[in-house]
Structure 1
Amino acid sequence: MENNHKDTAEFEEMNDTVQEEAAQAEHLENSNAQGDEDQAAESSEPVVEDSRIAQLEASLSETENRLLRVQADFENFKRRTREDQAAQLKYKSQSLITQLLPALDNFERAMDVKVEDAQASSVLQGVEMVYRQLLEAMKSEGLEVIESEGAAFDPNLHQAVMQVQDEEYESNVIVETLQKGYKLKDRVIRPAMVKVNQ
């Protein structure tokens, strides 16, 4: 019986050892499985982080491009505004000069009148003096007379109202100026009305 008891004690001890080893193996297996899950989670986190970083970089790049376009548009706007202001300043007197051109024409017609007595002659001299002063004031603002007679016809500067055939002139040459044309700086404000040789 003592042997039987001894065998039972050994058996129980062996059973305890086997159970401990089984528990350790199970614990080790569980910790390996947990480690695999942690490792899988850790390995998926960088993938998620990498895709998020790529999204943020793409968004940043798009925002930077948009900012550059807005800056370029603003610079173009400022340049156009400066050009418009310069043009307005350059041609600020155009409206007034355009309104005064008929007065210049009337002065020229008055000066073309032939006078015979002294009183009319002195009035004509006064008209000529006023005409010259007005013309000089307008020239100081940039007004230029378009030269026409004897020049080649230029549709940008001249308006042909008549055509003639004259052997003395070459073809497409202006024979006579019917009404003077004017430029303000480099802009034609009234083309010259002319007769052109065919």
Structure 2
Amino acid sequence: MNPSNDNVNVSNDDNLEAEEVNSTDAGEGAASAQSAVSAELEQLRNEVQEHQQRFLRSQADFDNFRRRTQKEKEELGKYASAKLITELLPVVDNLDRALAAVKENAEAESFSKGVDMIFRQLEGILSAEGLTPMNSVGQPFNPEYHQAIMQVESDEYEEGIVVEEVQKGYLLKDKVLRPAMVKVSG
């Protein structure tokens, strides 16, 4: 027996055991690496899903914003003339009073016709913008449309009915521009 062969055999046995340990470690290492990759992949998938949900929410928020902005724009366009018309209403009231006063005096008939033509023209322009006068007399009192300035006794109307209109009220399209000042039966 050669002592050097024994050493070689022992060395070979040690190498085989070392290879088995290394291959076992390598198998465990590969499984561990695969597990880490799977965990990282799952985490990335969750992040992608979270980002996708954020994107969808942002898209929905933007769509809602766009619709709301469009509605506000339409509303602004619909009532853009409200300020001007509100400032013109006292002029309409004064023209109406002038016509009523002139009709009592027959001498000023030509003046009355001129003022009446101006009044009708102004009324036509305002009507084209969507202004309509309220018809309050005989209607039940409604605080959204009427401003009560006095309560009077009336045999003709039951309680809570508008008896007289002191100042006309106006609607601009479907919105109250100025409530009517009225006397209400009590």
Give TM-score, length-normalised by structure 1: 0.88
Hey, what does 2:83 align to over in structure 1? Answer: 95
- SS of 2:144's partner is coil
Selected match of 1:30 from 18, 21, 24: 18
Hey, what does 1:3 align to over in structure 2? Answer: none
Alignment of 1:50 with 2:38, yes or no, is: yes
What amino acid maps onto 2:90 in structure 1?
P
Question: Offset at 1:37?
Answer: 1.1
- For 1:36-185, list aligned pairs within 5 A: 36-113=24-101, 114-117=104-107, 120-185=108-173
Question: Offset at 1:142?
Answer: 0.6
- SS of 1:159's partner is strand
Question: Offset at 1:46?
Answer: 1.2
What amino acid maps onto 2:42 in structure 1?
A
Question: Offset at 1:17?
Answer: 4.5
Number of aligned pairs? 184
Larger Rg: 1
Hey, what does 1:188 align to over in structure 2? Answer: 176
Seq. identity, %: 39
Gaps (5+ residues) in structure 2?
none
- SS of 2:30's partner is helix
Distance in 2 of aligned mates of 1:81 and 1:180: 34
Distance in 2 of aligned mates of 1:136 and 1:146: 16
What amino acid maps onto 2:60 in structure 1?
A
Gaps (5+ residues) in structure 1?
1-10
Distance in 1 of aligned mates of 2:134 and 2:29: 86
Greater alpha carbon shift after TM alignment, 63-72 vs 101-110: 63-72
Distance in 2 of aligned mates of 1:21 and 1:166: 131
Alignment of 1:21 with 2:9, yes or no, is: yes
Question: Offset at 1:30?
Answer: 0.4
- SS of 2:80's partner is coil
Give TM-score, length-normalised by structure 2: 0.93
What amino acid maps onto 1:115 in structure 2?
N
Greater alpha carbon shift after TM alignment, 25-34 vs 161-170: 161-170
